[in-house]
Chain A
Amino acid sequence: MPLWTLIGLKEGCATLDWPEKTGKNGQEDVLGMPRFNPEKCLTNCTRCVDACLPNAITRDENNNLKVDYGSCINCQLCTEVCPTGAMTKSEDWAFGVFDKKDLVWEKNSQHKIKKTEIKKDFKQSLHIRHVDAGSCNGCESELIALTNSIYDMERLGIFFTPSPRKADLLLVTGPVTYAMHDALLTTYEAMPKPCWVMAVGTCAVSGGSNGGGYACNQGLENILPVDVYLPGCPPNPAALITAFQLFLGKIQQKVSGGQQNDTL
């Protein structure tokens, strides 16, 4: 019979140095949000608009392209249909923000970036209650990955808790189906206050490709007050960790005007 303890010891430490030290975060080659370059965009072209399933790319009344990364499902189709390279593939996936407005593309955004509202008392240990409000299981797969030895979220003082009574943060995935609506609110009400809400995945942020129709809402809009939005389809484990750090005030928000600025 295998000696599992010995096997485990022999394997050594699998955990990443990131994010406590700089180094690989395990997301090499993972594609993220497409980058938009309006200077290359043709005035009368609607190819990306037609190819965008969740309507993240639209033309406004002045015929300007509006790109809302809160609705983007990272399908990369716009980057493939664009004839001029105004939409290009990128590895920008760390799109956690406090305010949904920061997810909309804007040149030289003047929008003031909010800071975390949570008090110091919560910063050392964060307890999360997750509710699946109708996801495709992609977000759950990545949330479960946070507990594997490679990401080992608990080393950062972040824990999933079974009971809403012990939770500080309600993490919601999915566009909120009619059948999960009440169960979601019941969970929120069972949490001691103050508590916070994080919308994880494009479905929870805006409905994405799966929201609407006869069975779904459009994410958490008008259902719960959201403190952190993290679009992505699904957000990868490093994007999730970055969003938790943002919420805990350990890093600054890097996204404004729909653009990720890594120098911040």
Chain B
Amino acid sequence: MKGVIEKNISPNEIVSMCEHVYAQGDRMQMAYAWYPEKNTAPEIIYISSIKDQRPFHAYRCQLNNDKKITSLTNASPLLGWYEREMQDLFGISFFDHPENVKLVLHEGVQSEYAPMDPNYPREKLISFSRQPWQLAEMKNPELQLLPFGPVRAGVCESAEFQYLYAGESILHFDERLFFKHRGMEKKFEGLTPELGAILAQRVSGVGSVAHALAFSQAVETACDVEIPLRAKQWRVILAELERLYNHLHYLGHLCHTTTLKVGEAQGKILEEQLKQLNAQVTGSRFLRDIITPGGLRREPNIEPVKYQLKKLQADILKYCNQLNNTNSHIDRLIGTGLLTNQVAFDEGATGPVARASNIATDFRLKHPYASYNQNNFIIPVLEAGDAFARMQIRIAEITESFLIVEQTISSLENGFIFREFKTIPLSEGLGWAESARGGLFYAIHIDTAGKLARVKIKSPSFSNWRVFPFTVDETNMMDYAINEASFGSTVAGCDR
């Protein structure tokens, strides 16, 4: 695989591989499986970062025909969900898995072949009979159980939660996601990279740019394409515009949960103004359908970024400052939804959530892509780990985003925005991007005909939804909505 430092290991070496990664002071990033050939056993690829090293490391492990391997979840808890995903979608079994229940597919799914197995009939809807969610057992009559979802109040994404509580305090919280699992990764199979980019932007709508970027970079790495500098710079501008409207939505929604009504209204007006600006720049309010492998599909309109954004910048920074000085708002945030540094690191928190718990991770600086290496900016990091810190990180990032856009505009290279290329059969590549919610990976494998054979998506929300329940137990009901909003995760990205 290109773009990484690669090593082949056997199934009995994986435990020492994992220990080696953690001994170097860094952690696993993700793990996924794929079928190199139709009727053989799948291969698992573990991706890790090594502290202060730019390239990611990939450990490839070809499974034996019994499709069994030791679980690494005890050594690296964040791998728990990746292993359960491989169990559901590839039929791989993991020994000694501490949380050995279904995750991506719900209880009640029946199928002869696992859905990602090449023998699974294409386009066949999986057979399913709905099973009740196993709720926590409770004997004390003073305890109450509140199941909530998957259809929740208001315009919400579908997900199910249960709260075991006494009066105001939550004793135990559990989540069931993947109601929105659409099998997106399988839909990439057989597509050209150009159409793959269109599909990637429909995995998580509010992360369209980040998904297009990570996907395109993976293809470009696999096919040894160096895209023109102007295209890279435009990608940076688009990625920062996406971060801006997402962060403004986040701030507005957070005000909604603390019932700061005018703050909510102002935040959502600013978000809308940014979305309208997006449309003027690219023709799409979500900045969609402009990034493609090889560069950009058309030249975006630079005028709104040069002029209108300047005016909005003043309004947005003023708004952020007002929020930071509103006691009634920050009183509700301080100490809410505490995420310790240890849990954030072990369970795989990413993006602003990780940075608010003192983990200095940001792909833009640590593993630079596009033209971020030409920008001069900082990654804000805080120690507190509460909802307030998570908001402050976002506010600080808004300032940095404006800075990055300004630097990039002023150094924007003249020239082409697209380079034609041929896909290299049987090539593989890893691409990544720091989306508004954190680290996003695309791993792609190209087949003999130059089409996509396997695409793995690791979205930031997949990481952060795993972390979220650790911040809920032993808090109170009144703070729950604030805490959920302070994470700002999407369900669509997580469920895929």
Asked if B260 is an interface residue, CB under 8 A from chain A, the answer is yes
1/0 per residue, CB under 8 A from A, across B99-143: the answer is: 000000010010000010000101111101010000000000000
Q: List CB contacts (< 8 Å) of B180-195 with chain A.
A: 180-184, 186-187, 191, 194-195
1/0 per residue, CB under 8 A from B, across A1-28: the answer is: 1101101100100100000000000111
Tell whether, in the assembled complex, residue B283 and residue A214 are in contact, meaning their CB atoms are under 8 Å apart. Answer: no
A235 CB to nearest B CB, Å = 11
Asked if B4 is an interface residue, CB under 8 A from chain A, the answer is no
Q: Which of A14, A53, A138, A178 contacts B125 (CB 8 A)?
A: A178
Q: Which of A4, A75, A133, A137 contacts B206 (CB 8 A)?
A: A137
Q: Which of B151, B178, B265, B491 contacts A148 (CB 8 A)?
A: B265
Asked if B25 is an interface residue, CB under 8 A from chain A, the answer is no
Tell whether, in the assembled complex, residue A7 and residue B322 are in contact, meaning their CB atoms are under 8 Å apart. Answer: yes
Q: Which of A7, A80, A182, A187 contacts B266 (CB 8 A)?
A: A7
Q: Which of A1, A5, A53 contacts B199 (CB 8 A)?
A: A53
C-alpha spacing A186/B132, complex, angstroms: 14
Name the residue of chain A whose CB is nearest to the CB of B315: A11
A144 CB to nearest B CB, Å = 5
The 10 nearest A-B residue pairs measured at CB: A138-B205, A162-B153, A215-B183, A148-B268, A4-B262, A31-B283, A137-B492, A8-B262, A214-B115, A2-B322
B476 CB to nearest A CB, Å = 22
Tell whether, in the assembled complex, residue A4 and residue B260 are in contact, meaning their CB atoms are under 8 Å apart. Answer: yes
C-alpha spacing A174/B284, complex, angstroms: 19
Tell whether, in the assembled complex, residue B181 and residue A209 are in contact, meaning their CB atoms are under 8 Å apart. Answer: no
Interface of A with B (CB < 8 Å)? 1-2, 4-5, 7-8, 11, 14, 26-31, 51, 53, 73-77, 80, 89, 130-145, 147-151, 160, 162, 164, 174-175, 177-184, 186-187, 208-210, 212-217, 233-234, 236
1/0 per residue, CB under 8 A from A, across B157-182: the answer is: 11000000000000000000011111
A222 CB to nearest B CB, Å = 12
Known: A26-B276, A138-B208, A179-B128. 10 other contacts (CB 8 A): A53-B195, A80-B297, A134-B495, A137-B157, A138-B205, A148-B268, A180-B158, A210-B202, A215-B183, A216-B183
Known: A8-B265, A133-B158, A216-B125. A183 touches B279 (CB 8 A): no
C-alpha spacing A148/B326, complex, angstroms: 21
Tell whether, in the assembled complex, residue A1 and residue B284 are in contact, meaning their CB atoms are under 8 Å apart. Answer: no
Name the residue of chain B whose CB is nearest to the CB of A24: B276
Most chain-A Cβ atoms within 10 A of its Cβ — which of B199, B202, B266, B495?
A: B202
Known: A4-B263, A137-B490, A187-B151. A210 touches B182 (CB 8 A): yes
List the A side residues contacting B194 at CB < 8 Å: 51, 77
A-B contact pairs, 23 of them (CB 8 A): A1-B325, A7-B266, A7-B322, A8-B262, A26-B272, A76-B283, A132-B156, A136-B202, A137-B205, A137-B206, A138-B206, A139-B205, A141-B286, A145-B275, A148-B271, A175-B182, A178-B125, A179-B180, A182-B130, A209-B199, A210-B182, A210-B184, A215-B115
C-alpha spacing A162/B152, complex, angstroms: 7
Q: Which of B156, B179, B205 contacts A183 (CB 8 A)?
A: B179
List the B side residues contacting A75 at CB < 8 Å: 198, 288-289
Q: List CB contacts (< 8 Å) of B286-345 with chain A.
A: 286, 288-289, 297-298, 301, 322, 325-328
Q: Which of A29, A143, A236 contacts B280 (CB 8 A)?
A: A29
Asked if B203 is an interface residue, CB under 8 A from chain A, the answer is yes
B270 CB to nearest A CB, Å = 10
Main secondary structure of the interface of A (DSSP, over half): loop
C-alpha spacing A180/B492, complex, angstroms: 13
Tell whether, in the assembled complex, residue B151 and residue A131 are in contact, meaning their CB atoms are under 8 Å apart. Answer: yes
Q: Which of A132, A164, A181 contacts B157 (CB 8 A)?
A: A132
List the A side residues contacting B184 at CB < 8 Å: 210
C-alpha spacing A1/B322, complex, angstroms: 8
Q: Which of A2, A30, A160, A179 contacts B284 (CB 8 A)?
A: A30
Known: A2-B322, A26-B276, A138-B286. A179 touches B179 (CB 8 A): yes
List the A side residues contacting B2 at CB < 8 Å: none
Asked if B23 is an interface residue, CB under 8 A from chain A, the answer is no
C-alpha spacing A8/B204, complex, angstroms: 33
A143 CB to nearest B CB, Å = 5
Tell whether, in the assembled complex, residue A14 and residue B198 are in contact, meaning their CB atoms are under 8 Å apart. Answer: no
List the A side residues contacting B106 at CB < 8 Å: 179
Tell whether, in the assembled complex, residue B158 and residue A132 are in contact, meaning their CB atoms are under 8 Å apart. Answer: yes
Size bracket of the B interface: 35 or more
Tell whether, in the assembled complex, residue A130 and residue B268 are in contact, meaning their CB atoms are under 8 Å apart. Answer: no
Tell whether, in the assembled complex, residue B158 and residue A216 are in contact, meaning their CB atoms are under 8 Å apart. Answer: no
List the A side residues contacting B198 at CB < 8 Å: 53, 73, 75, 77, 209
List the A side residues contacting B158 at CB < 8 Å: 131-134, 180, 183
A105 CB to nearest B CB, Å = 21
List the A side residues contacting B271 at CB < 8 Å: 145, 148
Asked if B466 is an interface residue, CB under 8 A from chain A, the answer is no
A86 CB to nearest B CB, Å = 19
C-alpha spacing A135/B204, complex, angstroms: 9
Asked if B415 is an interface residue, CB under 8 A from chain A, the answer is no
C-alpha spacing A180/B178, complex, angstroms: 10
List the A side residues contacting B123 at CB < 8 Å: 212-213
Q: List CB contacts (< 8 Å) of B199-239 with chain A.
A: 199, 202-206, 208
B495 CB to nearest A CB, Å = 8
List the B side residues contacting A139 at CB < 8 Å: 205
C-alpha spacing A187/B156, complex, angstroms: 14
Tell whether, in the assembled complex, residue A214 and residue B157 are in contact, meaning their CB atoms are under 8 Å apart. Answer: no
Tell whether, in the assembled complex, residue B262 and residue A148 are in contact, meaning their CB atoms are under 8 Å apart. Answer: no
Name the residue of chain A whose CB is nearest to the CB of B126: A214
Q: Which of A162, A164, A181 contacts B154 (CB 8 A)?
A: A162
